[in-house]
């Protein structure tokens, strides 16, 4: 059961060739839903499961909405994430139910909400448990209660006189995270709402804010492709063994992970453990002393409070995260993740000890960021048990997990690992074991080039601004500080032992200034954020200089078979490094800018 309606068929958008094609799609839905909204008898949408995009616009056109309080019920208008705008009445009807601020938040971010939130915002008239959903729906249709009105003073946000003020505030928030030249859709939503009360057909097709124009832009085409890539990565955790392209239905209930044991309570280990507990798993977190566990537990408590916004649920999550200095959880765990510092001998020693205590069927995984599995596994009696689960920092925000497959890794471990990654709501990318795997391999040359620019006298702020202007979500110098300069140096040496590391990187690392985690790196992090001066004027060509090593290494990784195909290189770069999604990934960008080699075959992405 896929739910209510998960949205319009994306293939329709991909098939748009002309302005008339785009207008026909919009007109068809707009007219149909307008007719539904105008019928003289009561209409009701009973929503259980996904209610997204056109599905929510259909529900909004009904007189009443009853949502089912079920974990799978999610409502939202994610069109902005595809580079387009809701065209079937959502921009007009949603603000009239919730008031402008809440509606614009949903429209401009594409985020989804659960059933209880939908009721609180006014989108739903009732939120009920499954057992009474039919009776509630029948009762509402029979009694036909009066419409809920947006209360004063929130109703003022719908007044045409106040709309420009509300939109101006929303535009500031959008500008803080997305530039108009990169992502025009959220700005188009604001323009259409302010000037035309959300009527997607009011603009001429030639207007840059019109859906007919947006749907044909490279941004929309690339973002739709990114959606396809995301669905493909999700499919690895459902039923596909990605390395052999065998399809297996993983129906065995015993494949579900219940207990995770994490060794290493540093930034990565502690945050991996906290994330697993947040997603409902029992987690034991091991380190050498209780003092080393304390910061991880404190970060976890903050994560649970911020994400769950419910003291009882946050307490339950914290109860699932168990400090375990003695390592007693090893013997009970379904999945064991090593997340200690990047030292080969230390990892070998640890895995030799873990193997003797772990259950024979437990998944033994390393979170190493760059060391090939073949080197770590030499201490194991059965190296075929070892697999990589490479998470990215910050764990709560980064969706991707590289599933690293060594030369001797058993084939059945890949789908098991993929199921686990999906269980904790991450995206899995199977990669071949090789120095840096995929993400760090393509990221390291980009970061090193940025730091060499600093060595040449270009300000870190200027380097970062050049990357932001290209479309990267964060500048490479700030990213290096966030990852940790010691890790950057270690990965750089691992990938190219003969290369001389950037001078400033070596100096800062030697002085113990490792970036955000030590409060000082290229930037001062005393306040918790990078203290930056003005970027000044960005020299011409600096952005291209930064991106070219990224593209070159992406091609090299594809040629070396680190992942199965070019689409997965782009997917890994987007979801693992934040490579500008609107550009479609490094290989798609290279192809569209005319710099791809003739042999590069970069398709539109595979449907899930």
Q: Residue 309 — very low, low, confident or very high, per pLDDT cuts 50/70/90?
A: confident
Percent of the chain with pLDDT over 70: 94
Length of the chain: 608
Span between the terminal Cα atoms of the chain, in Å: 17
Is the confidence at residue 574, as pLDDT, over 80?
yes
pLDDT digits (tens, 9 = 90+) for 268-295: 999 999 999 999 999 999 999 999 999 9
Is the confidence at residue 216, as pLDDT, over 70?
yes
- Cβ distance 283 to 395 under 8 Å? no
Measured from the Cβ of residue 596, the count of other Cβ atoms closer than 10 Å reads 18
Is the confidence at residue 240, as pLDDT, over 80?
no
> Once rounded to an integer, what is the mean pLDDT over residues 203-218?
86
Is the confidence at residue 319, as pLDDT, over 60?
yes
Is the confidence at residue 601, as pLDDT, over 70?
no
- Among all residues, which ones are annotated catalytic? 369, 390, 402, 440
CATH fold of 246-434 = Rossmann fold (3.40.50)
pLDDT digits (tens, 9 = 90+) for 414-462: 999 999 999 999 999 999 999 999 999 999 999 999 999 999 999 999 9
Peptide bond into 153 cis (omega under 30): yes
Residue 471's pLDDT is what? 94
Residues of the chain with CATH 1.10.1040.50: 440-561
Residues of the chain with CATH 3.90.226.10: 3-216
Output the CA torsion sign for 277, 2, 251, 389: negative
- Cβ distance 435 to 372 under 8 Å? yes
Residue 595's pLDDT is what? 59
Is the confidence at residue 608, as pLDDT, over 60?
no
CATH 1.10.1040.50 fits 440-561, yes or no: yes
Helix (H, G, I), strand (E, B) or coil at 179: coil
pLDDT digits (tens, 9 = 90+) for 367-425: 998 889 999 999 999 999 999 999 998 899 999 999 999 999 999 999 999 999 999 99
Is the confidence at residue 253, as pLDDT, over 60?
no
Average pLDDT value for the chain: 91
Residue 2's pLDDT is what? 63
Q: Which of 6-10, 282-286, 356-360 has the lowest mean pLDDT?
A: 6-10
pLDDT digits (tens, 9 = 90+) for 51-93: 999 999 999 999 999 999 998 999 999 999 999 999 999 999 9
Give φ, ψ of 179 to 5 degrees: -85, 145
The second-level CATH assignment, the architecture, of 3-216 is Alpha-Beta Complex (3.90)
| Cα 470-476-480 angle, rounded to 5 deg | 165
Residue 604's pLDDT is what? 36
Q: Residue 247 — very low, low, confident or very high, per pLDDT cuts 50/70/90?
A: very low
Q: Which of 77-81, 172-176, 231-235, 604-608 has the lowest mean pLDDT?
A: 604-608
Q: Which of 90-99, 247-256, 420-429 has the lowest mean pLDDT?
A: 247-256
CA 311, chain centre distance (Å): 26
Residue 254's pLDDT is what? 43
> Once rounded to an integer, what is the mean pLDDT over residues 590-607?
52
Is the confidence at residue 241, as pLDDT, over 60?
no
Q: Residue 25 — very low, low, confident or very high, per pLDDT cuts 50/70/90?
A: confident
- Cβ distance 69 to 119 under 8 Å? no
| Cα 42-48-51 angle, rounded to 5 deg | 85
Residues of the chain with CATH 3.40.50.720: 246-434
Residue 369's pLDDT is what? 87
Residue 171's pLDDT is what? 96
Is the confidence at residue 600, as pLDDT, over 80?
no
Residue 502's pLDDT is what? 96
Q: Which of 141-145, 193-197, 437-441, 601-605 has the lowest mean pLDDT?
A: 601-605
C-alpha 587/C-alpha 274 separation (Å) is 34
Q: Which of 141-155, 184-198, 247-261, 274-288 has the lowest mean pLDDT?
A: 247-261
Residue 268's pLDDT is what? 94
């Amino acid at each position: 059961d896929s739910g209510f309606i998960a949205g319009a068929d994306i293939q329709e958008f991909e098939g748009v060739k002309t302005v008339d094609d785009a207008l026909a799609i919009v007109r068809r839905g707009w007219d149909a839903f307008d007719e539904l909204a105008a019928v003289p008898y009561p209409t009701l949408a009973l929503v259980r499961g996904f209610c997204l995009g056109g599905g929510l616009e259909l529900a909004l056109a009904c007189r009443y909405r009853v949502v089912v309080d079920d974990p799978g019920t999610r409502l939202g208008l994610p069109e902005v994430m595809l580079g387009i705008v809701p065209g079937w009445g959502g921009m007009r009807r949603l603000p009239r139910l919730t008031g402008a601020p809440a509606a614009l938040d949903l429209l401009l971010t594409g985020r989804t909400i659960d059933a209880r939130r939908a009721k609180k915002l006014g989108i739903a008239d009732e939120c009920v448990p499954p057992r009474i959903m039919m009776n509630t729906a029948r009762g509402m249709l029979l009694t036909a209660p009066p419409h809920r009105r947006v209360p004063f003073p929130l109703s003022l946000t719908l007044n045409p006189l106040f709309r420009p003020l509300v939109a101006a505030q929303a535009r500031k928030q959008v500008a803080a995270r997305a530039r108009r030249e990169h992502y025009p859709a959220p700005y188009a939503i604001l323009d259409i709402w302010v000037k035309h009360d959300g009527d997607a057909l009011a603009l001429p097709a030639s207007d840059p804010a019109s859906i007919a124009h947006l749907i044909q832009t490279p941004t929309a085409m690339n973002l739709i492709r990114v959606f396809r890539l995301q669905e493909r990565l999700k499919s690895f955790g459902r039923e596909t063994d990605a390395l052999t392209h065998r399809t297996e239905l993983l129906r065995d209930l015993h494949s579900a992970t219940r207990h995770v044991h994490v060794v290493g309570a540093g930034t990565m280990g502690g945050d991996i453990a906290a994330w697993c507990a947040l997603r409902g798993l029992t987690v034991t977190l091991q380190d050498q002393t209780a003092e080393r566990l304390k910061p991880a537990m404190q970060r976890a408590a903050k994560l649970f409070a911020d994400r769950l916004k419910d003291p009882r649920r946050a307490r339950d999550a914290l109860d699932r995260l168990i400090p375990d200095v003695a390592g007693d959880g090893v013997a009970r765990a379904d999945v064991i993740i090593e997340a200690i510092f990047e030292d080969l001998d230390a990892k070998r020693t640890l895995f030799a000890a873990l193997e003797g205590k772990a259950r024979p069927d437990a998944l033994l995984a390393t979170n190493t960021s760059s060391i090939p599995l073949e080197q770590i596994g030499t201490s194991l009696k059965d190296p075929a048990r070892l697999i990589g689960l490479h998470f990215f920092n910050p764990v709560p925000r980064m969706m991707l997990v590289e599933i690293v497959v060594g030369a001797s890794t058993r084939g059945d471990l890949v789908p098991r690992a993929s199921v686990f990654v999906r269980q904790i709501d991450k995206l899995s990318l199977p990669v071949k074991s090789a120095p840096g795997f995929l993400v760090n391999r393509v990221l390291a040359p980009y970061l090193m080039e940025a730091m060499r620019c600093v060595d040449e006298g270009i300000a870190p702020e200027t380097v970062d601004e050049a990357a932001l202007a290209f479309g990267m979500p964060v500048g490479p110098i700030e990213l290096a500080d966030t990852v940790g300069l010691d890790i950057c140096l270690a990965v750089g040496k691992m990938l190219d032992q003969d290369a001389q590391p950037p001078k400033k990187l070596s100096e800062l690392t030697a002085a113990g200034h490792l970036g955000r985690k030590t409060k000082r790196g290229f930037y001062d992090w005393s306040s918790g954020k990078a203290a930056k001066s003005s970027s000044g004027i960005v020299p011409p060509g600096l952005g291209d200089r930064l991106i070219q090593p990224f593209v070159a290494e992406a091609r090299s990784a594809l040629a070396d078979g680190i992942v199965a195909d070019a689409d997965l290189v782009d997917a890994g770069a987007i979801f693992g490094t934040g490579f500008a999604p609107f550009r479609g990934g490094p290989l798609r960008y290279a192809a569209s800018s005319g710099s791809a080699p003739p042999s590069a075959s970069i398709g539109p992405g595979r449907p899930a």
